[in-house]
Amino acid sequence: MFLNYLKIAWRNLWRNKLYSSINIGGLALGLAVCMLIMLYVAHEHSYDHFHKNTSRIFSVYTSGTYGGQTVNTSHMGYEYGPAAAKNDTRIQAFVRTQKPFGAPLLVNNAAKTVKYPESQLLYADANFFDFFSFPLVSGSAATVLQQPFTIVVSEKMAQKYFGHQNPVGKVLYLTADSTYLFQVSGVMKNMPSNSSIQADFVAAISSMKGMKENQHVVTGVNFKTYFLLQHAADITPVQQTLQLTAEKSDPEMHSQYHLLPLADEHFEMDTDQAAGIRYLHIFPFVAGLVLLLALVNFMSLSTARATLRAKEIGVRKVTGASRRVIAAQFYMESALYTLLAFVLAYLIYLFLHRYFLDILQIAIDESFVNGVQALGIMTILLLGTTAIAGSYPAIVLSAFKPITTLQGSLSHNSGGAWVRKLFTTLQFVIAVTLIISGIVIGKQLYYMRHTDTGVNRENIVMISIHKSMGTHYPAFKKDVANLHGVKQVATMRYPMYTSYDMYGGNSNDNNEPVVFKMLNVDNDFISLLGIRWKVSPATPAAIAQRGHIVVNESLARKLQLPSQPVDRQITAPPGEVITVAGVVRDFNFQSFSSRIDGLGLFVAPDTLSYWTAFGSTMLVKTTPHTNLPALLAGIKNTYERFDKENPFAYQFMDDAFNAMFKAEDRLAGIFNLFIGLTVLIAGMGLFGLATFAAQQRTKEISIRKVLGANVLSITTQLSKDYVKLVLLAVLIASPIAWWAMHNWLQHFAYSIRLNGWIFVTAGLLAVIIALCTVSFQALKAAMASPVKGLKNSY
């Protein structure tokens, strides 16, 4: 019986190649989208679950209120972890880690033939590889980090610095302020992409006490600490232990200590992923819509075509076949179609997943792509799709009455037509909703990139300056300023749009302290970026005087400064007094997701050693139409005369600005992909239904032609019903899309307005797509010979 069902299903598939292609192709595209999205979602939710003790590992973070603002950090003092473990038996083990702050370290192999800046270095306690489940290729987890100045490298770093040689026992030179020799004690597997801890080098934390530039780090609150508890339920008493330990070490401490499960860290504390995680719930929903579209398309075409087999169903019922047997046959046919669609979808998935991940700007290991979890999701997707796709055709078609089907009236009447119209409308509701959303997202991205931010970002190159530049920085800056094509040069502590410091103070004794963001810049910074003054300083030199600050409009309001605030004083803890030198107009220095905040500019001359004591950034403004490759080569040659240790590195300010919209770029890329697939699937379904409708109405069309109807009138007659359905879909989709996009735009402090032309454009686009799809079959039917049409019966 099973083989007979399979044979009938295959025969029908082969006889109706066009419909089979549309059915299988449309469903395959929908399934491929779901596979790609579920890969991303499953990967995001799998972070840190590979550790053997994940449920009992917690990281520490603190929260405190300063100047009315809540500040969260994820660091503890060096001695807090050991003290807490000693005082509380519920703590089974702890690990402290620390990532060097600032410029990347220079790493050299022993022969000094390979030299690269590396940012993925992690200092960690000796039990790091026992505490976490990062496998070692070489070395013992218990001993690799026991001795100071030992280091474990990843497989890719071992290959990079030592080629095919065994790196264990060899040395690496790490250069910060000074150069230190580290012995390679082990090789670890590359850390998986779903790990919140990422490092290419793990060095013994005990090394830090022997490194002069890390002395202040060891004595400060700079260590990310993890605790392994005896039981996960012990979280509350252990938090109390941490609080008491911290207060004993620092009685004036006002922060609250909290434990965060390791499995939640990726979502709760990863600020780089915060915006992207916001869309983690959107992508599955949209993927579900695309799959629903494909399933609706599949079921609509399946039932439409199966009505042509009504007499077969009637004969089988008269000869004794039960409804259950007929339902099983049609279910088997749908299952075969679904299986073929799934195989095609999986091939599309394998082919496109790298491109898809590039759009998302994330990396996922191939071991995860082909792993048990991913394959399990695929299996569930296959079974679920088969169950849904086969159910409706089987139930509907097995319910046909023998008398009606044998009379031949079923295939000619309008039974089931209203269902197909409902399906068609639903398809275009989904398509129009996505089209509107795509237009809005594109407009918002364009607005953010082209609106006036108060800063002239064009033609500005940001160059990294390292400690190794030393006292040569003023000379280097002067030489760069004299290069042909350079208009102006300035200096700031961090690259624009990447980071800032925090500061606090109040303008009189009655005010609460105000915490505000602060940038350290030189006296050319404001003019180079074209930042406008609201209240100019008394003299140009006043802004660079020691103990003076330039504030923006937002900070002036926060500090309740008067309309003429020049020379007003701000008191900062612990009693330092700074003087307001001037007020600049607000300008964007961070993401558009928040309004411009209070900002202070501490201006210092470029002759200060500060600029190279911690590293800084040089801003080079070029003249328009400058030969940039030649100019960059000139700056590089100049740089290498003054700094022979660190490689020349630069970034365009426009690129740094655009990097703030990474999550929105991801969303736009995904929506563009979804819109294309949605339109394709909806168009395929509409094409199939139009072909079916044209075949059913062949005699009607032939009679109309015999009676004098022209091609245009027949084409219009066949197309108008579908245009009405699309217009209805536009009316339904518009308020849905408005609500979704209105809520999305609330995430931005500055956003576009939802104008009516967006909805009109999307509607016209949907109507044009429908007309182009339907008109092809309508014209074909209208131009066919009426003699042949009158001979055929459907």
2-6, 428-432, 567-571, 650-654: least confidently modelled range: 2-6
Residues 632 and 486 in one domain: yes
Residue 554 resides in a domain: yes
Task: Give the integer Cα–Cα distance in Å for 88 and 93.
Answer: 11
Please compute the mean of the pLDDT values over residues 485-495 and round it to a whole number.
Answer: 94
What's the pLDDT at 123?
93
Report whether pLDDT(80) > 50: yes
Residues 159 and 245 in one domain: yes
Structural domain ending residue among the three candidates 217, 239, 268? 268
Residues 496 and 588 in one domain: yes
Report whether pLDDT(188) > 90: yes
Residue 133 resides in a domain: yes
Structural contact between residues 455 and 596, judged by C-beta atoms closer than 8 angstroms: no
Please compute the mean of the pLDDT values over residues 583-598 and round it to a whole number.
Answer: 85
What's the pLDDT at 725?
84
Q: Specify which of 371-375, 703-707, 778-782 reaches the highest per-range mean pLDDT.
A: 371-375
Cα radius of gyration rounded to whole Å, the chain: 34
DSSP codes joined into one string, 667-690 = HHHHHHHHHHHHHHHHHHHHHHHH
Residues 257 and 282 in one domain: no
> What are 312-367's pLDDT values in tens digits?
666 666 666 666 767 777 777 777 888 888 999 999 988 888 888 887 778 888 88
Confidence of residue 794 (pLDDT cuts 50, 70, 90): very low
Residues 224 and 249 in one domain: yes
If one compares 89 and 504, the residue with the highest pLDDT of the two is: 89
- Structure tokens given for 352: 């496109």
Structural domain ending residue among the three candidates 620, 645, 670? 645
Residue 60 resides in a domain: no
Residues 116 and 259 in one domain: yes
Please compute the mean of the pLDDT values over residues 713-718 and round it to a whole number.
Answer: 67
Residues 495 and 431 in one domain: no
Does this model's pTM top 0.85? no
Report whether pLDDT(243) > 90: no
Confidence of residue 774 (pLDDT cuts 50, 70, 90): confident
CB atoms within 10 A of CB 302: 22
Q: Is 7 exposed, middle or buried (0-12, 13-18, 19+ CB in 10 A)?
A: exposed
Report whether pLDDT(707) > 90: no
Report whether pLDDT(231) > 70: yes
What's the pLDDT at 531?
94
Q: Is 50 exposed, middle or buried (0-12, 13-18, 19+ CB in 10 A)?
A: middle
If one compares 398 and 29, the residue with the highest pLDDT of the two is: 29
**How many domains does the chain contain in total?**
3
What's the pLDDT at 502?
83
> What are 631-653's pLDDT values in tens digits?
999 999 999 999 887 788 899 99
Confidence of residue 480 (pLDDT cuts 50, 70, 90): very high
Residue 66 resides in a domain: no
- Structure tokens given for 150: 């030992």
Residue 653 resides in a domain: no
Report whether pLDDT(718) > 50: yes
Residues 475 and 383 in one domain: no
Residues 316 and 253 in one domain: no
- What is residue 584's DSSP assignment? E
What's the pLDDT at 778?
62
Supply the range of the domain harboring residue 148.
75-268
Structural domain ending residue among the three candidates 613, 645, 677? 645
Report whether pLDDT(410) > 70: no
Residue 456 resides in a domain: no
> What are 551-561's pLDDT values in tens digits?
999 999 988 88
Residues 474 and 438 in one domain: no
What's the pLDDT at 110?
64
Residue 372 resides in a domain: yes
200-209, 334-343, 376-385, 669-678: least confidently modelled range: 669-678
Please compute the mean of the pLDDT values over residues 460-478 and round it to a whole number.
Answer: 89
SS3 state of residue 541? helix
In degrees, rounded to 5, the angle at the alpha carbon of residue 386 between the alpha carbons of residues 384 and 391 is 100
Report whether pLDDT(614) > 90: no
What's the pLDDT at 408?
52
Residues 507 and 636 in one domain: yes
Residues 235 and 356 in one domain: no
Residue 656 resides in a domain: no
What's the pLDDT at 516?
87
Please compute the mean of the pLDDT values over residues 149-168 and round it to a whole number.
Answer: 91
What's the pLDDT at 784?
59
Confidence of residue 295 (pLDDT cuts 50, 70, 90): confident
Q: Which 3-state string (H, E, C) describes 249-298?
A: HCCCCCCEEEEEEHHHHHHHCCCCCHHHHHCCCHHHHHHHHHHHHHHHHH
Average pLDDT, the chain: 81
